[in-house]
Amino acid sequence: MSRRRLRLLLFVPVAAVLAGVLMWGLVGLPSFGSPPHAYAAYLLKHEVGQRHVTNIPSAIVFDYRGWDTLGEELILFTSVMGTALLLRRGREDTGERPRDKAASAAVRHAGAFLVPVVLLLGIWTVSYGYLTPGGGFQGGLICSGAALFLWIAGSYRLHRGLTPTPLVDAAEGSGAAAYIATGLAALAAGQAFLAGFLPSGTVGSLLSGGTIALLNWATGLEVAAAGVLIFHEFLEEYIQTVPNPSPRQEER
Amino acid sequence: MADASTLVPLTVAVPLITAALLAAVSRWIPRRGPDLAALAAAVAVTVMSVALVVATRDTPIVYWFGGWHPVRGVALGIDFVVEPAGASLAALSGVIAVASLVFSWRYFEEVGHLYHTLVLTLLAGMVGFSLSGDLFNIFVWLELMSVAAYALCGYQIHQSGVVQGALTFAVLNTIGTLTLLMGIALVYGRTGALNLAQIGESLHGHPPGGPVIVAFTLITAGLLVKAGAVPFHFWLADAYTVVPAPVGALFAGVMSDLAYHTFARVYWDGFSDALAAHRDAVRDALLVLAVASILVGAVMALLEAELKRQVAFATVANGGLVLAGIALLTPRGLGGATMLVVVDGLLKAALFLLIAAIIQWLDGGDELLLHGRGRRRGGVLPGVLLAACGLGFALVPPFGPFLGTALAVDAAGRPWLTAVAACGAAATGAVFLRAAARIFLGWGPREDPAITREPTESREGEPEFQPNDDWKRVGHRIIMLAPPTVLVIAGYVLSLVPGVADWFTSVAHGITTPHRTAEYVLSGHLPPLPPLPHSHGHYAPGGSAWACAAGSLIGSVLLAAASLWWQRLGRVVRRVLLVPVAALKSVHDGAVGDYTLWFATGVAALGAVWTLTLR
Amino acid sequence: MIDVVQIVVLTFVALLGVAVVACRDTLRQVMVNGMFGLSLVVLFTVFEAPDVAISMAVVSNVAYPMLLLATIYRTRGRGADERERE
């Protein structure tokens, strides 16, 4: 009681000061909608000419600032490794997997229809990522969502059976490695790390972008696999709360 | 192609691709495969970083990823600015990672590829963090090393204390990195630039204004959380207590102090020009934090019985000294700080590995619990190493920590700062002298109300093993004690290299002349380095340095003795001493909410002071 | 330079953000957080950042709730077990 009060008593003035300081900082910023900074102006003018890619954010993400994306991709990779380390070590052996099944017929049928649609949507988002909004990260996540639908509409066994962990592990590692390897290939070609050493292709076609396309696909693979692995680990945790081996819910 | 700049991306790419490939093929390679691959990658990073230190001794290397050179002063891509200080910190990360991996070889019962993957990404993050010249890129590497560190910290997740400590670590550090990110967003909003050189140039010649001051506050606070400066240090002790020792060596040896160095680079490259008229205000605020860190860290270290917590608070105190060196805003101060980061880093890493060996050998990591247990065959080397670390922290001349501290206090020329530094060094030295005396000589009583903590698992964070089992084998002892021995020797010998103090000063001089670097980064033209002001040939420690060392050496011996036998004083004195001790300890209570409140208070205070003084 | 749609969206984001914090029941919080995520998707779309909007849509409405729900069930389950044992 007294400790809680003391905390509040301290927090209120502190929060007030913090809010004041932050406001003071924000108020001084250029107003909304003011003309773009030099960097944005340069990219708007020159990007398509330089990199032949119509979705400028993709060109920034996979080329101009591709080194950041490498780091970010590895952050995702590391988080998955870390999650696996923490959850696998904290878990007792589960034994048999439950024979759960989606309860309602509506969910089963809608889900069965949705799995291929979502997967296709994901692959489409990756492949057109450098032409229209989207890209490896977004598309990869959508693909991993399709794997999740396997569980929602089907069963846990189906979900794990169709996404075998050794394969997904390998896919995740190779996706991350492929990104770095593309950078190294540029180095081997005598250019700077991650430089666009491949021909840039025709503007507006799927064959444009050169290394951007490669890096985009590498990211898509890595993110999709990372998503599936995280779902594996967390579902495995959830599954432990399901009475074993009786079904998740009685079918009526 | 064969020039040294090719090494720049490889220092980060090699550990990362090794980690990724390990994850991809782990199922199909033999058990020692991950060990060997990780070790090879860490050795490669070390060798490349040392090569970069040599290659950049005259001119820094600016590496543009993707080959995107700036156009008319606008940075299009991301650059690494490799100068000797950053490269030597990368080398330090590599050395400690190698030592830690060698040590892990025998330390864990079963260790899959996940551990090695995470150590490698942690290493890559630290290298990128110390070399990057782009503010957002710095954030990316900080985040990479943080994520790896959270997971490694919780390695022994089934122990309840570990969950608590790792969670505190993750929560506080996430708040810190988000604060940093907010600061970066404000800078970007104000300047449209993320490149440090470009930020510095675009702020040049204008009054700083609200966004810049607030951004500087947020960036400072964000980085100081990682560095563990008071009042942002609370997570440190809880995390260090539960981290497995080989990883702890990386935490204490490099990770924390790297943030100080990055802070220095961000300040000089990005903000020093904009805040040039207010140098005093910047310096005074930072000095207050530094002094608070030295004092709180030193006192708290003395009040802990658990060896890992002692290292944690010693890290806070040493970090305070580093921050004091930086806060002087002079080349010599920064040189001393950088040298301290390297030398103290080696000693602290050695200390952590040594503690791990002691825990495994004597079955406990609490100095009261271990009272006299080290008095047996094989106890000489660990005891000597522990005392050597203590003496090193107590500034025994002419070795490493002494020289670094000497540079800083001589540069300061402020008697009170010399006194504070001496107190801090005396206390951190006394802690490990006391521990060595108690464990390996059996001095002092077995119980001490001032330093006990409520009972917890005595080996938090460490793997289960049968004590004494492997220790009888000589090979095992060698592999456990060789890494700390090498690190201690390296820490001591480094300062005997002729001209090393001058080298660190001249390196720091390069960092403190941001215009020159900025011109090199943005236009590729490197102006000549202006001569170092007040430079009189070779550096020799001055009067305040010797006074500081004498004070801290005598003080540490006296303090060690006093803290061993203080209970012989009368009952009244005991009561009087125990009250403030209990109060100070209750502040470090392990509650995340309280720690967050302290963090918010720190940011608010810093923000209020700087908004009032810097405009 | 700011138009009505933007003001409406910003207001929604602010309100839902507060609602997430104000929510005490974790399960309910997951739902409210999903709605908050959706409001951010709309915000990013309105402010012409479709790439971010797509990421946000998938993260805040598929991946993140999934992780939260699994965690909630797991921790509640464990807590219930311990209570029964005691």
Show me where the domains of chain A are located: 56-86+98-239
- Name the helix (H) or strand (E) containing B79: strand B79-82
Split at pLDDT 50, 70, 90, the class of A200 is confident
Residue scoring higher pLDDT (B485 or A38): B485
What is the spatial distance between Cα A196 and Cα B234, in angstroms, rounded to a whole number? 45
* B163 token code pair: 């969950």
What is the spatial distance between Cα B314 and Cα B301, in angstroms, rounded to a whole number? 6
Asked if the Cβ–Cβ distance from B16 to A180 is below 8 Å, we say yes
Is the bond leading into B498 cis (omega within 30 degrees of zero)?
Answer: no
Asked if the Cβ–Cβ distance from A77 to B20 is below 8 Å, we say yes
3-state secondary structure of B80: strand
B contacts of A170 (beta carbons < 8 Å): 24-25, 27
A22 touches chain B (CB under 8 A): yes
* Partner residue opposite C55 with nearest CB, options A33, A138, A231: A138
- Please state which of the ranges B54-68, B348-362, B414-428, B451-465 shows the lowest mean pLDDT: B451-465
Q: Which of B87-96, B100-109, B352-361 has the largest mean confidence?
A: B87-96
| pLDDT value at residue B576 | 82
| pLDDT value at residue B110 | 63
Split at pLDDT 50, 70, 90, the class of A247 is very low
Asked if the Cβ–Cβ distance from C66 to A234 is below 8 Å, we say yes
Asked if the Cβ–Cβ distance from A133 to C70 is below 8 Å, we say no
B contacts of A15 (beta carbons < 8 Å): 600, 604
Task: Give the residue on A whose Cα is nearest the Cα of B1.
Answer: A190
Mean per-residue pLDDT for A237-243? Answer: 75
A71-119: pLDDT as tens digits = 999 999 999 999 988 887 667 655 566 667 767 888 888 888 889 999 9
- Please state which of the ranges A183-187, B187-191, B233-237, B476-480 shows the lowest mean pLDDT: B476-480
* B310 token code pair: 């002692």
For residue A249, pLDDT beyond 50 = no
Which residue, chain included where needed, has tokens 């079904």?
A: A247
Chain centroid to Cα A13, Å, comes to 39
- Which amino acid is present at C38? L
What is the spatial distance between Cα B557 and Cα B553, in angstroms, rounded to a whole number? 6
A210-226: pLDDT as tens digits = 889 899 999 999 999 99
A78 touches chain B (CB under 8 A): yes
Cα of B212 to nearest chain A Cα, Å: 7
Asked if the Cβ–Cβ distance from A138 to C62 is below 8 Å, we say no
What is the spatial distance between Cα B87 and Cα C51, in angstroms, rounded to a whole number? 37
Mean per-residue pLDDT for B117-127? Answer: 95
Q: Which of A2-11, A36-45, B557-566, C6-15 has the largest mean confidence?
A: C6-15
C41-74: pLDDT as tens digits = 999 999 888 999 999 999 998 889 988 988 888 8
What is the spatial distance between Cα B217 and Cα B222, in angstroms, rounded to a whole number? 9
Asked if the Cβ–Cβ distance from C63 to A145 is below 8 Å, we say yes
Which residue, chain included where needed, has tokens 């996430």?
A: B174
C38 touches chain A (CB under 8 A): no
For residue B445, give the DSSP letter: -
Against chain A, the chains showing at least 3 CB pairs within 8 Å are B, C
Nearest to A233 by CA among A72, A122, A79: A79
Averaged pLDDT score across all residues of chain B: 89
Any residues with CB less than 8 A from the CB of B378 and at least 6 apart, and which? B361, B471, B477
Averaged pLDDT score across all residues of chain A: 86
Task: Give the residue on C whose Cα is nearest the Cα of A138.
Answer: C55
Asked if the Cβ–Cβ distance from A135 to C51 is below 8 Å, we say yes
Split at pLDDT 50, 70, 90, the class of B324 is very high
Task: Give the residue on B whose Cα is nearest the Cα of A79.
Answer: B147
Cα distances from B71 to residues A38, B165, B523, in angstroms, run 10, 47, 8
C66 touches chain A (CB under 8 A): yes
Best interface-test mutation with A: which of C5, C58, C78, C84 has the largest number of A CBs within 10 A? C58
C54 touches chain A (CB under 8 A): yes
Residue scoring higher pLDDT (B31 or B235): B235
B273-300: pLDDT as tens digits = 888 888 899 999 999 999 999 999 999 9
| pLDDT value at residue C84 | 45
Nearest to C65 by CA among C18, C39, C41, C29: C29
Asked if the Cβ–Cβ distance from B17 to A7 is below 8 Å, we say no
Asked if the Cβ–Cβ distance from A33 to C2 is below 8 Å, we say yes
Mean per-residue pLDDT for B301-315? Answer: 91
| pLDDT value at residue A96 | 60
Cα of A68 to nearest chain B Cα, Å: 6
Best interface-test mutation with A: which of C21, C44, C51 has the largest number of A CBs within 10 A? C51
As to burial, measured by CB atoms within 10 angstroms (0-12 exposed, 13-18 middle, 19+ buried), residue C72 is middle
Contact by Cβ (8 Å): B30, B102: no
The count of other CB atoms within 10 Å of the CB of residue A225 is 29
Share of chain A above pLDDT 90, in %: 38
Asked if the Cβ–Cβ distance from B23 to A172 is below 8 Å, we say yes
| pLDDT value at residue B109 | 63
Count Cβ–Cβ pairs < 8 Å, chain A vs chain B: 213
A234 touches chain B (CB under 8 A): no
Best interface-test mutation with B: which of A81, A89, A194, A200 has the largest number of B CBs within 10 A? A81
Share of chain B above pLDDT 90, in %: 55
Residue scoring higher pLDDT (A243 or B510): B510
Task: Give the residue on A whose Cα is nearest the Cα of B587.
Answer: A3
Averaged pLDDT score across all residues of chain C: 85
B contacts of A35 (beta carbons < 8 Å): none
B358-386: pLDDT as tens digits = 888 888 888 888 888 888 877 888 999 99
Contact by Cβ (8 Å): B597, A11: yes
| pLDDT value at residue B133 | 92
C15 touches chain A (CB under 8 A): no
Residue scoring higher pLDDT (C2 or B189): B189
**Residues spanned by the domain of C73:** 4-85
- Please state which of the ranges A27-41, A82-96, C18-32 shows the lowest mean pLDDT: A82-96
Cα distances from A59 to residues A65, A181, A206, B199, in angstroms, run 8, 19, 14, 23
For residue A9, pLDDT beyond 60 = yes
For residue B285, give the DSSP letter: H
| pLDDT value at residue B315 | 94
- Which amino acid is present at A82? G
Asked if the Cβ–Cβ distance from A68 to B115 is below 8 Å, we say no
| Relative orientation angle of helices B331-362 and B380-393, to the nearest 10 degrees | 160
For residue A172, pLDDT beyond 50 = yes
C2 touches chain A (CB under 8 A): yes
Asked if the Cβ–Cβ distance from A235 to C70 is below 8 Å, we say yes
- Name the helix (H) or strand (E) containing B325: helix B307-327
C7 touches chain A (CB under 8 A): no
| pLDDT value at residue C81 | 47
* Partner residue opposite B147 with nearest CB, options A65, A75, A177: A75
A133 touches chain C (CB under 8 A): yes
Based on the structure, what is the number of domains in chain C? 1
| pLDDT value at residue B466 | 55
| pLDDT value at residue A246 | 46
| pLDDT value at residue A93 | 58
B202-221: pLDDT as tens digits = 888 788 888 999 999 999 99
Against chain B, the chains showing at least 3 CB pairs within 8 Å are A
For residue B426, pLDDT beyond 80 = yes
